[in-house]
Chains A and B, each alone.
Chain A
Amino acid sequence: MQIRINLDVMMARRKISLGELAGRVGITQANLSILKTEKARAVRFSTLEAICQELDCQPGDILEFVPNEKNDNK
């Protein structure tokens, strides 16, 4: 996975639980868990916006690009 999700880090910093964040963002806990465990294939801008709003952070605080080793060698 080249995009790392740092949602758990931000949630720990803000001391907010998964269920609470899911409720505030307006998505199910299962879907937020999919995002947190990096199983999601895509994130809607509206979801990202709501998460950033609730966690008071930037998208870059949640999403991080991790360069692939193979690509680096090339």
Chain B
Amino acid sequence: MKILKGLLVVLGVAALAVGGWYLFSTWVDVRAMMAVANANRSAEFPSPINQVYLSVAGGALGGLLLGIGLGLPRRTASGIRKEALRASAAAREAEIRGRAADEHPTQGV
């Protein structure tokens, strides 16, 4: 598991680096395209680069939250401890209840 964890971290960082590179490349291309498009039109068109930024930020944040969500344990350590203590107390109380029934003063009367 330790190897897999390290591998996933390396792959995640590599994917972020590749994504960052492509985002930069897209920004450069979009700037050039918008310059050409606006040069030949009477009205200016808004650049779609902001939507690209939002898409990338949404994807990165979604990936991060999903990873954290998948990585977190389903129960906390204190929850597991409390459950164990409750189970232990219930078993102990059942023992005492059993002895109470055996030793009851009116038993057999």
Chains A and B form a bound pair: no
